[in-house]
């Protein structure tokens, strides 16, 4: 049976869903595009401003989803590596 620290680490990896990384990337993307729009709003038409706003929302959602998928892939590899090491340790201790 694994020690409690290892057990907690496995549980923590199982609970990761990528939501934090996706949210952070999406919010940063929105912040950058809002800043850009604020700086260039005077030179844009109303239609241009609307299109830039929609494009920034779509971009933020896409980047957030990409960050979530990357985070999930990294977490999956970490969990696989940890479980592999645990299996190797278990097999060494077997007679």
- This prediction's pTM: 0.79
CA–CA separation, 82 and 12 (whole Å): 12
Give the pair of three-digit tokens for residue 58. Answer: 């779509």
Cα 49 to chain center, whole Å? 29
Domain ranges of the chain: 22-93
CA–CA separation, 57 and 51 (whole Å): 10
- Give residue-wise pLDDT tens across range 5-42: 777 888 888 888 889 999 999 999 999 998 988 888 88
CA–CA separation, 30 and 8 (whole Å): 35
The pLDDT value recorded for residue 3 is 66
In the chain, the percentage of residues whose pLDDT exceeds 70 is 96
- Give residue-wise pLDDT tens across range 36-90: 888 888 888 889 889 989 999 999 999 999 999 999 999 999 999 988 888 888 8
């Amino acid at each position: 049976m694994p020690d409690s620290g290892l057990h907690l680490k496995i549980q923590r990896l199982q609970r990761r869903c990528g939501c934090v990384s996706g949210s952070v990337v999406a919010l940063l993307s929105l912040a950058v595009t809002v800043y850009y729009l604020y700086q260039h709003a005077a030179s844009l038409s109303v239609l241009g401003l609307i299109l830039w706003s929609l494009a920034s929302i779509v971009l933020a959602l896409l980047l957030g989803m990409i960050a979530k998928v990357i985070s999930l892939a990294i977490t999956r590899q970490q969990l696989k590596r940890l479980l592999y090491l645990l299996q190797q340790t278990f097999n060494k201790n077997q007679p």
